[in-house]
C-alpha cells in the first residue's frame, strides 16, 4: 500500500513539475510587450510581415501588431497616437510628418518598385513604354484602369504620374477609370475581374494569385522607384507611445540582421524588397 501511494505521489510530483515547465515555456513564448505598427497594405499583403515579425519577436521578446492601411491613413493613425511606429512608402508625406513634429527622424528601410499591370492583349499598347507614356496611351484608348483611390503611397504615386504625363485626371476621367477605395489586393482583384490596367507595387503583384489575363506591361522606369521609411511616433506628442520598444523595432529593421531578413524574403525565388538602410 505504501509502495502504491509512493508511486501515485511520484506521478503527481512529475505532473506538477511538467506543468510548471510548460507554464514557464508558455510564459517565455508570450511577448513581454507589444507595439502597434501602422503600415501599408503592400507590406502585409506581400507576406513580408508574416515572415519578418516572428524573427524580430524571437530576437527581442517584443510583439508587433500591424494595422495595415494606405500610407495616408497609416500616417493619420500615427498622428492620432493609435500607433507606436509608422512604416510607409511616400517620402514626401513622411518628411512632412517629421517636419510637423509627429516624429523626430525618418529611417530609410528598403525599396522595391511599382509596375503597371494590364491585359495580356494590351489594347492601349502600353507595353514597354515609360510610365507617363503608358498612362497617355491608356487614357487615349479609354481602356479600363483601376485606381486604389485610398490615399495610399501607391495612389499618391499614381496621381503624380498622371500629372507628370501632362494629363488633368479630373478633366479626362470617365467610366473607364474606376476608384475602388481599397488596398492593393482588392484593386488587383478588381483589375483581374474586369481585365483592366492598374498600378501595383511589385511585391503585392508577385504574391497575388488570381491574376487572370493580367501581366506586367510597364517596368524599369526610374520613376517607379518605391522607397519605404520607418518613423517612431514622437512621445512628446503622445506620452503613451512605447518609445523604447518602438525604437528597438526600427533599430532592428535597419540593423544587419533585419536588413538580411528583408533581403531573404522571396516568392518563387524572386526578391520582393531590397534593404537600403542608411540612404536618404
Same domain flag for 235 and 220: no
Same domain flag for 209 and 233: no
pLDDT higher than 90, residue 29: no
The parent domain of residue 266 ranges over 29-111+227-275
Tell me how many domains the chain contains: 2
Asked if residue 13 is part of any domain, the answer here is no
Same domain flag for 121 and 219: yes
Asked if residue 265 is part of any domain, the answer here is yes
Same domain flag for 201 and 71: no
pTM for this entry: 0.83
Q: Of 187, 204, 224, which marks where a domain is finished? A: 224
Asked if residue 83 is part of any domain, the answer here is yes
Q: What is the pLDDT of residues 178-214, one digit of tens each?
A: 999 999 999 999 999 999 999 999 999 998 988 999 9
Q: What is the pLDDT of residues 118-148, one digit of tens each?
A: 999 999 999 999 999 999 999 999 999 999 9
Instruction: Please report, for residues 91, 105, 106, 142, 157, the alpha-carbon distance to residue 96 in angstroms, rounded to integers and kept in the order given.
Output: 9, 11, 10, 35, 16
Same domain flag for 175 and 106: no
Enclosing H/E stretch for 88: strand 85-88
pLDDT tier, 5 (very low <50, low <70, confident <90, very high otherwise) = very low
Asked if residue 3 is part of any domain, the answer here is no
Lowest-pLDDT choice from 28-37, 79-88, 157-166, 201-210: 28-37
Same domain flag for 81 and 133: no
CB 158 within 8 A of CB 127: no
The CATH number that applies at residue 146 is 3.40.190.10
Asked if residue 176 is part of any domain, the answer here is yes
Asked if residue 16 is part of any domain, the answer here is no
Q: Of 182, 200, 224, which marks where a domain is finished? A: 224
pLDDT higher than 60, residue 50: yes
C-alpha–C-alpha distance, residues 280 and 268, integer Å: 30
pLDDT of residue 19: 44
> Can you tell me whether residue 212 is helix, strand or coil?
coil
pLDDT of residue 27: 41
Amino acid at each position: 500500500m505504501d509502495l502504491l501511494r509512493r508511486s501515485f505521489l511520484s506521478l503527481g510530483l512529475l505532473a506538477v513539475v511538467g506543468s510548471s515547465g510548460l507554464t514557464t515555456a508558455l510564459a517565455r513564448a508570450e511577448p513581454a510587450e507589444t507595439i502597434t505598427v501602422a503600415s501599408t497594405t503592400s507590406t502585409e499583403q506581400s507576406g513580408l510581415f508574416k515572415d519578418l515579425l516572428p524573427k524580430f519577436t524571437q530576437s527581442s521578446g517584443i510583439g508587433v501588431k500591424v494595422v495595415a492601411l494606405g500610407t495616408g491613413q497609416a500616417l493619420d493613425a500615427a498622428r492620432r497616437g493609435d500607433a507606436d511606429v509608422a512604416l510607409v512608402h511616400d517620402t514626401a508625406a513622411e518628411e512632412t510628418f517629421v517636419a510637423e513634429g509627429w516624429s523626430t527622424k525618418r529611417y530609410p528601410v528598403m525599396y522595391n518598385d511599382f509596375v503597371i499591370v494590364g491585359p495580356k492583349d494590351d489594347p492601349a499598347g502600353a507595353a514597354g513604354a515609360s510610365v507617363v507614356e503608358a498612362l497617355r496611351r491608356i487614357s487615349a484608348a479609354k481602356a479600363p484602369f483601376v485606381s486604389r483611390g485610398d490615399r495610399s503611397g501607391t495612389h499618391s504615386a499614381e496621381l503624380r504620374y498622371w500629372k507628370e504625363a501632362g494629363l488633368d485626371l479630373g478633366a479626362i476621367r470617365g467610366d473607364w477609370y474606376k476608384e475602388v477605395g481599397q488596398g492593393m489586393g482588392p484593386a488587383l482583384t478588381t483589375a483581374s475581374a474586369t481585365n483592366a490596367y492598374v498600378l501595383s507595387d511589385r511585391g503585392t503583384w508577385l504574391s497575388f494569385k488570381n491574376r487572370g489575363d493580367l501581366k506586367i506591361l510597364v517596368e524599369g522606369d526610374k520613376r517607379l522607384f518605391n522607397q519605404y521609411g520607418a518613423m517612431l511616433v514622437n512621445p512628446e506628442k503622445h506620452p503613451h507611445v512605447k518609445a523604447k520598444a518602438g525604437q528597438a523595432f526600427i533599430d532592428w529593421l535597419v540593423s544587419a540582421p533585419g536588413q538580411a531578413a528583408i533581403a531573404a524574403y522571396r516568392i518563387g525565388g524572386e526578391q520582393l524588397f531590397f534593404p537600403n538602410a542608411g540612404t536618404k
